[in-house]
Structure 1
Amino acid sequence: MSEPPGAGVSLAEAKSTPPPAEPPSPPLTAQRVQPLRRPGRWIATAIVLVLAAQFLHGLATNPFYQWDRFGYWFLRPTILDGLLITLEVTAYSAVFGLLGGIVLALARLSRSPVLRAVSWTYIWAFRSIPLIVVLLFLYNFSALYQTLSLGVPFGPAFFTFDESQLGTDMVVAIIGLSLNEAAYAAEVVRGGILSVDQRQHEAASALGLPKRYQFLRITFPQALRSITPNYVNQLIGLIKATSLVFYVSLLDLFGTAQTMGATYPGDIVPLLMVVTVWYLILTSVVSVIQFYVERYYARGATRTLPPTPLQRLRAGLREVRERARRETAV
Structure 2
Amino acid sequence: MQLTPLNPSDHDGVGAVLGLVNAVRNADAPEGPGIVEQSFRAGLRQERPGLDIVHFAATEDGTLVGYLGIGLMVGDNPHLAMAELMVHPDHRHRGHGRAMLDHYTEYASSRGRTDLTAGTLTTWGDGPRRPEAGVAFLERNDFTLALVNVRRRARTDALAPEDEQRLWAEARAASEADYDLRTWTGPAPDDLIESICRLDAKSRTEIPLGDIEMEAEAVDVARARAKEAATAAVHQVPVKAAAVHRATGEVAAITDVHAFEDPAAVHASQGITIADPAHRGHRLGMLVKLANLRRLREQFPRVAEIWTENADVNDRMVAINTALGYEAVDALSVYQRRLRP
What's the TM-score once normalised by structure 1's chain length? Answer: 0.19
Name the structure with the higher strand share. 2
More helix by share: 1
TM-score where L is the length of structure 2: 0.18
- Larger CA Rg, structure 1 vs 2: 1
